Amino acid sequence: MLRYSLILVGFLPLVLGYSNGGPGSACGNLLPQHHGMTVQRGTSLFSITLPGNTVQRGSETQLFLQGAGGETFKGFFVQGFEGTDGSSGVFQPSRNVQPRSCTGTENAATHTSPSEKSKVTLLWTAPNYATTVEFKSTVAVDKTTIHTNKPLSVNVV
């Protein structure tokens, strides 16, 4: 009986999704690989925004991930890309947000719980040099409905 219980417990992450944040395997393609997930086609109901499109090198800034018209979501994964060279900048922990290390630094961010959210504030520290960073993000409405959002381009000066 104990053996069957342990086997069932091993399948819980597949059944429940990633309630404590997206896995490291989501780095790069931003997809959580939930069992039975479907990536939605067309325009996403969610967006990542920044007041303006320029930040100072080395400065901390706020990014906002939110649903149109108050649409809610349970999970997310955000990563900043610098050209084709991988991730750029560092995310800080904040309410409903935890950093993820994709290339040795905490250059991605994900949710801390599966509670419903309509808006999340992400704290991001820009690199210490001038560059352009493109933020890509995905949102999980539930464990099977995933939206890929329009990228946000930010100039670091």
DSSP letters of 81-133? Answer: E-TTS-B-SEEE-BTTEEEE-SSSS--EEEESS---BSEEEEEEEPPSS-EEE
Query: What share of the chain has pLDDT > 70, as a percent?
Result: 73
Residue 43: its pLDDT value, please? 83
Token pair, residue 114, equals: 């599966």
pLDDT at 89 over 50: yes
Residue 12: its pLDDT value, please? 34
Q: In whole angstroms, what is the distance from residue 133 CA to residue 127 CA?
A: 9
Residue 120: its pLDDT value, please? 95
Token pair, residue 98, equals: 């935890």
Pick 129 or 88 by higher pLDDT. 129
Token pair, residue 76, equals: 């997310």
Q: In whole angstroms, what is the distance from residue 72 CA to residue 12 CA?
A: 24
- For 3-52, how does the pLDDT look when each residue is reduced to its tens digit (9 = 90+)? 443 333 333 333 344 566 655 555 655 555 555 566 777 788 999 999 88
CATH code (residue 85): 2.60.40.4060
Query: What share of the chain has pLDDT > 90, as a percent?
Result: 38
If one counts the domains in the chain, the total is 1
What is the extent of the structural domain holding 52? 2-156
